[in-house]
Amino acid sequence: MAKLIEITGKALSGEWGKDDETGNGVPVLRTTNFTNEGIIDYNSVVTRTITKKNIGEKFLRKGDIIIEKSGGSDKFPVGRVVYFDGDDNTYLFNNFTGLLRVKEPKMWYPRYVFYSLFANYKRGGTRMFENKTTGLHNLKTDDYVSRYEVTEIDMIEQVSVCDKLDKLYEIINERKQQLELLDELVKARFVEMFGDARKNPNKYDTVSFIDIVEYMGDIGSNGANKVVVDHLDMKDKEDYAMMVRFTNFTKNDFTDDVKYVSKEAYDFFKKSQIFGGELIICKIGSAGQNYVMPYLNRPVSLGLNQIMVRIKDNILMPYLYQYLHTDYGEFLISGCINGAVTKTITKTELKKIPVMLPPMELQREFVAFVEQVDKSKVSLYYKNRKGGFPPLLFIYSVTTIINLSDY
């Protein structure tokens, strides 16, 4: 093992300068340009006027690693890293980040060092180097760089490992693009079958949202606020039922960062028990965003700040979901949202949304198409792999190189 500080030296501090009033400033990368995949997003790079002298060594070069020094949250630790692959001597990095540059690139392959730091972050390895001030999470950067160790392997192995991991990245991104294309195919099929939802060219019946609802409720439907709070025993440790939160939907993750409730709480919150197939709508913050609840084969209870909708048999959920995700459907939902700072949506407003209601045989035809597309999505996870597609295999241990020889 080798100490990171022996490989890169101390992290260089970033620059921020002043507002660029001339339009001739220097592009500066910020943590908003970080992605969770360790890739830099160049779409929102700002320019700044930097007047400080002797900063030549801080201009980024290919192979540099930028580390987040301030940011993070209670859920996501500070210490993300991205790998710089842009033009040399063009970009600087801001004061919430630091620069790690390999001193001996003939001994250490920069991308290998990056992958090691990336995997350590994903394992939560930076959490112990955090401190908090005024709500910000700060990385004790010098301490981290001094203590973190990188597995020593020869250069040929380093390059080989990175080639395999880069290939895995390519496969993942290719699958993501294919999944996005399949989603677009469903949208196109919807328009082909039913026309523009706003114009309703086929003159289908239009009903109010409440007319297709069998049940609409939230956690507050179980009683007065004080009673609900008294029975809410949400916990991190595995228990009888999962209490699903909106972050589970946005991440499409119902296994990690999950909350639980006891059987007593689950039974008390009878009006917000979830069985799969319900429409779940966010009430506060990302108000109006909605997902269909998957079938998890376990007891599940609705979490806070969400609305659950069960529908009548006059409409099919895949059709309704796609209708709400047309441009017109999203426009209708946005019209129900209130609040300038904190966005909110209520059941009362949702009930008024007009819903285009085609004949059931056409809905069934559309649902059959959606099901075929879903089968194609599933097959993508198993393509080019023995036993299943490994979407995030590299996250857990670059330093021990997990069984990549099979791929």
Q: What is the DSSP letter of 126?
A: T
Least confident of 69-78, 88-97, 334-343: 69-78
pLDDT averaged over every residue in the chain: 89
Does 2-152 match 205-357 in CATH topology? Answer: yes
Looking at the predicted structure, is the pLDDT value of residue 381 above 70? no
Looking at the predicted structure, is the pLDDT value of residue 213 above 70? yes
- The mean pLDDT of 323-332, rounded to a whole number, is 96
The string of pLDDT tens digits covering residues 234-244 is: 888 999 999 99
Q: In the prediction, which pLDDT does 229 show?
A: 86
**2-152 CATH, one of 3.90.220.20, 3.90.105.10, 3.30.830.10, 3.40.710.10:** 3.90.220.20
State the burial class of residue 135 (Cβ atoms within 10 Å of its Cβ: 0-12, 13-18, 19+). Answer: exposed
- The mean pLDDT of 107-127, rounded to a whole number, is 94
Looking at the predicted structure, is the pLDDT value of residue 126 above 90? yes
Q: In the prediction, which pLDDT does 168 show?
A: 84
Looking at the predicted structure, is the pLDDT value of residue 400 above 80? no
Domain range summary for the chain, segments of one domain joined by +: 2-152, 205-357
The beta strands (E) that lie in 226-272 are given as 241-244, 259-261
Looking at the predicted structure, is the pLDDT value of residue 113 above 60? yes
Looking at the predicted structure, is the pLDDT value of residue 385 above 80? no
CB atoms within 10 A of CB 233: 13
Q: Name residue 241's beta-bridge partners.
A: 261
The string of pLDDT tens digits covering residues 41-57 is: 999 899 999 988 878 89
Least Cα distance to 141 among 103, 176, 98 occurs for 98
Least Cα distance to 227 among 195, 265, 194 occurs for 265
Looking at the predicted structure, is the pLDDT value of residue 197 above 80? yes
**205-357 CATH, one of 3.20.20.70, 3.40.50.360, 3.40.50.2000, 3.90.220.20:** 3.90.220.20
- The mean pLDDT of 73-89, rounded to a whole number, is 89
Cβ pair 246, 305 in contact under 8 A: yes
Q: In the prediction, which pLDDT does 33 show?
A: 95
